[in-house]
Structure 1
Amino acid sequence: MGQKPRSRSSTIRAQQLDAHMPTLATTCRQIREQLGLSRTRAYDRHHVSNSYLAEIETGGSIPSFDILEQMIEGYRVGPLMARHILELRTAAVGIEPTAMLRRTVTTDPTLRFHLQDLERRGVHAALIDPMWNVLVSNESFRAVTPGLEDIVSIPEWMFSAHARELFLHWPSQAAHAAASIRALLGRYRDSEQARILLRNLSRNEDFMTYWTSGITVAYGRDISDLMHANDPITGEPASFSLTISNATQAETVHLITLIRRPLSGPPPSTSAPEENADTPVHDADVDAADIAARQPISSMESGTKSAPIPVDSSDHQPLPALTHEPTYPVIVGAQALGKSRRWYMQQLRTGRLPGHKAGRSWFLTAADIAAALNVTGRAAVAAPGRAAGTSVTSERTYRGSGRPRDRRRPIPPQSSRGPSAR
């Protein structure tokens, strides 16, 4: 006899087993599996041995930043997923309790005045904590987000019936929300807010559908990436631009703004985030030449400091830009110059090229990459042609032996001074 079909509740309980907090081990495994690679075949991409990769993916070993960069380069993940991986390698960021942050903002007259000023300008605005719990908002923000005042959590609200009715094409917004939640949980994974959010969302079948359909991550959204919804105030469809920026020097409170625009049409129809076996992480991969040519506007990117919210009593002066510059792993800069990651790292350590260091890891901004192109006098180029999943340095061989080099034990280039000790 055939097996009895699962009930709806049992299906949700089974899905809940996959709603785990993001970790470095599980993320590395998910990327490899989504590429359809065994650990043995993955070695051809990043030259991390089968046994050591198994230790990394099961949490038995924490890889060095150099090994992690090899894996990022070998799997060819995008800059946003690379950032997510590096954040999982570093210590989780702590968050003050939401109730404490709410008391802080409600007793700060400057922050309250700024929300009122934005209200007069026709800007829907709210102050939120790092996990996107609403601390306080102006009246127009509450009007265009029905139901959020009771739910409090924006991530949970995005998977509520209120959001389904509000957005003209809710699936695309849900996919982006799930990707953003993955990034938030990775960065603040040890906080009480993160545990509560994951526990609550695990009971939501819609969320679980998007959460288990891929491993995409997102950090904020471009200001040009408009959301299309039925405006509850006017009752007519409209488009909204969203920005998120730091509201305090401590970066514990963020300002979220929504600006209404004429309807520009809903996005193309997508029911869920799609993944490709060869490029598993669709996180807005950036072409190296494009990075040097422009600095994209993005919101809520770490690595930059923001001044406190400016207070301006004029009703006519333009609002200041509330954006942050995105950051990229070193490999993106290396590809822009047509160089290896090792060469680029040497230039950063000696100060020949600009960059930013967080702990033991280096990051680049679009301005850094553009400056590097100017310093070296090179035009932005695509990564040189080579075998899939390999880099310039990984194609070197052991001193003419014909064997691929093991990226766990890199061999320094030959020079007149002889090999250097590592």
Structure 2
Amino acid sequence: MSKLTLIIFYFVNYIIIGLGFLSFAQNYIPGNTYIDATGYVEYRAGNLPIVISSPHGGYLEPASIPDRNCTGCVTIRDSFTQEVTRGVDNAILAETGCYPHVIINLLHRKKFDANRDVGDAANGDPTVIQSWNNYHNFIDAAKAQIIQDYGTGTFYDMHGHGHTIQRIELGYLLTSAELQQTDNYLNTNTAAQDNSIRTLSNSNQQNLTLAQLLRGTSSFGDIIANRGFHAVPSSFDPAPQGTEPYFAGGYNTRRHGSSDNTSQINAIQIELNSNLRFNSTNRDAVIDSLALSMIDFHTQHYDSQFTNQYCAVLNNTEIKPAKNTSLYPNPSQDNISILTDKTIISYSIYDVSGKLIVTDFYENSTINISQLTIGLYFLTIQSQDDHKETLRFVKAP
């Protein structure tokens, strides 16, 4: 590139990043689909602590965008990974009544690689640079919403591999050589601590070690394997052996996971073998398995109250409360108050299974919750204008 071209490149990138932050700040409605300004990035907004990204499954090959020609560029599309991503999205919705966050690159990989830094991803094309920024801003927006609503969650990056060994490869930013080490090495060695589920290994419901989370009986690999799909790492296949090919995780897994030990979002790269992707029967089966496995993984390691009826109470009400409506204090041991500019007529409290616990007129300034057991609840309020909203609260010990 000439000096003038470089200046233009970085100026355009700077402007696009600024626009990306404006996009990040907007509110997204769960279940709604948003297409970015380029028309090449799709975001289905969610309300679950799950993000699914499909960086290499796009089909569009507009002539106006030149093919990438960077050194070492991979331009082959990960066939059927977009279909798998959409299938998992729908299966999770059917199981929970709620939406995972889903981000899809609609461009062919020869035009845009959403799992690379902007230089290799966009090859200097201004439109693809904008798509790259929007793609990652959508993921950042999803992560921010999860942290606000749940505190933590998991980012899954969906890929396909063409390796001879027909198994699902799960990437945590650990190499084959590292996975071949002992559990003690994984749990204590500084290098091995640079992994994409680092904050989860520091704090999880069962107090499991990193090695147990990677390849123990409650690992994501085992959860998948117990549904009939060979996965590595898992207790059944702890590590790739010798020089067996294996993808350890890429740009997205590092950028959007917790290897920095500060992010509350953990990341797993999912590499599906060709037998699962190209056969429609196998593809449907692995879609169902992945959806249930993502739910199970969250249930076992983040939140035991995350049930298959988690969102039943949210049907026919606003999932995101109005800007001027909130609960205080939250969490609370004894009483909660509704802070709103509306006139509240009545309220109902539901547990996480959707069971109605109490319903009453809102006659006092506070609601007594001292009789509730410890845990997560939903408060549905009805205002004088017949408007309904649902808010989450936690009964504290």
- Give TM class, smaller chain: under 0.3
With the length of structure 1 as denominator, give the TM-score of the two structures.
Answer: 0.23
> Higher strand share goes to which structure?
2
* Structure ranking higher on relative contact order (CA contacts 8 Å, 6+ apart): 1
